[in-house]
Structure 1
């Protein structure tokens, strides 16, 4: 493991709480302030940085065979897609 692997994990893990705070409209300090939109944008920026770092460090075929990367990406990616919908459903 080197520093790039650490940064990949840190960006991927930190994107989820900021996205959750953003869609639940919880005030939480992110790179773009306390606003919900700022936290959502911050989560997307971290996710994009993570994807860029992975593609720079590893070949695409390697990513597809690593279950840890796939699992982390899928949880975050599905939450980006269905998070607001699930939040609305469970708040009824």
Structure 2
């Protein structure tokens, strides 16, 4: 595991509570303030950064072999959906 893997995982895990608190309209401090829209925006930003880091560091075949990352992304995509 490298530092980039840690950052990818941290972004992925941190996006989930911000998305949930934003969808439930709970006031929770994020990068864009306490508003629900700010938390949803922050979750989307973290998810996009996570995908960019994955895209530049791994090939698609390697991504599919990493079960932890695929599982984390799948759970977060289901929450977004």
Using the size of structure 1 for normalisation, the TM-score is: 0.85
Q: Deviations over 1:5-45 (max 9, x none)?
A: 11000000000000000000000010000000000000000
Gaps of 5+ in 1: 82-92
Structural RMSD (CA) = 0.6
Higher CA-based Rg: 1
Q: Following superposition, which runs of at least 4 residues in structure 1 exceed 6 angstroms of deviation?
A: none
Segments of 5+ residues of structure 2 without an aligned counterpart are none
Counterpart of 1:86 in structure 2 is none
Which one scores higher on RCO, CA 8 angstroms, separation ≥ 6? 2
TM-score by length of 2: 0.97
